[in-house]
Amino acid sequence: MAKVYPESETIIPVVNTKNPIVLTVWKKSLIFSCDGFTVYNSNGNLAFRVDNYFVKGNREIVLMDALGCGLHTVRRKMLSLADNFLVYDGESVNPRFSVTKHVNVLNTKSLAYVSTVGSSKNRNKRNVIYEIQGSYAQKSCMVYDDKHRCVAEIKKKEAKGGVALGGDVFALVVQPSIDPAIAMVLVIVLDQMFDSSRRFSK
């Protein structure tokens, strides 16, 4: 397999600029016996990580920065008819938004919708802020905002010389209008929805 990781583990925070950011996502934890992701920036430096320990009953995944500080927590919503995940900032008790799997067989392009979560007084009032289309299995997905502008893209990645890196390594292209950490959270949720080998523990 072609080399994915950099020569050194220099830590540089991911800061969005006026240009798109290209991240390399590797579906592998840095910690032995853990499931997760390791994400590098365009310079080959560690940007984000997910180390999901195999603990019975564990129903949450934490996206961390390069130093291991929790940025966002993903929890599957229980007693939901469709795959529905809630995303929290850090250790907040109030969800920031939800991601719901699209189940309409007449629209096969849509994979999921990202919606705001209403206040405690009006939980049913939600606005769709992103729509995800494409195929996660093929690593070909687009994230569109409410004006149908592409804000992030998941696509296959090739090493130098055109060598395919396989399905466990892919590129995440992030536009300036979305936080790279949020884009990575959407990758985590898609992986939970469409990769049966990496589901939450039952």
Angle at 185 between CA 179 and CA 187, to 5 degrees: 110
Q: Which one has a higher pLDDT value, 23 or 80? A: 23
Angle at 24 between CA 192 and CA 67, to 5 degrees: 85
- Cβ burial of 48 (10 Å; 0-12, 13-18, 19+) is buried
What is the per-residue pLDDT for 117? Answer: 87
**CB-side exposure of 131: number of CA atoms within 13 Å?**
13
The residue with tokens 């994400």 is 39
For 54-108, write each residue's pLDDT tens digit: 555 567 899 999 999 999 999 998 776 668 999 999 888 899 999 999 887 666 7
- Is the pTM of the predicted complex or chain greater than 0.75? yes
Q: Check whether 163 has a pLDDT greater than 80.
A: no
10 band by pLDDT with thresholds 50, 70 and 90? very low
Q: Check whether 14 has a pLDDT greater than 70.
A: no
Alpha helices in 31-125 (DSSP H): none
What is the per-residue pLDDT for 11? Answer: 44
Q: How far is Cα 190 from Cα 186, in angstroms, rounded to an integer?
A: 6
Burial profile 114-153: b = 16 or more Cβ within 10 angstroms, e = fewer: bbebeeeeeeeeeeeebbbbbebeebebbbbbeeeeebbb
Query: Mean pLDDT for the chain?
Result: 83
52 band by pLDDT with thresholds 50, 70 and 90? confident
**Residue 11: both structure tokens together:** 């830590």
8 band by pLDDT with thresholds 50, 70 and 90? very low
**Residue 20: both structure tokens together:** 């798109």
Contact 181, 48 (CB under 8 A): yes
What is the per-residue pLDDT for 15? Answer: 55
Contact 172, 25 (CB under 8 A): yes
Using alpha carbons only, how large is the chain's radius of gyration in Å? 16
For 125-153, write each residue's pLDDT tens digit: 569 999 999 999 999 999 999 999 999 99
Strand pairing report for 70-76 and 95-101: unpaired
Query: What are the phi and psi torsion angles at 57 (to 5°)?
Result: 85, -5
Q: Give me the residue spans of the domains in the chain.
A: 21-198
Q: Which CATH number fits domain 21-198: 3.50.50.60, 3.30.70.890, 2.40.160.200, 3.40.50.1100?
A: 2.40.160.200
Q: Check whether 199 has a pLDDT greater than 80.
A: no
DSSP string across 29-53: -SSTT-EEEEEE-TTS-EEEEEEE-
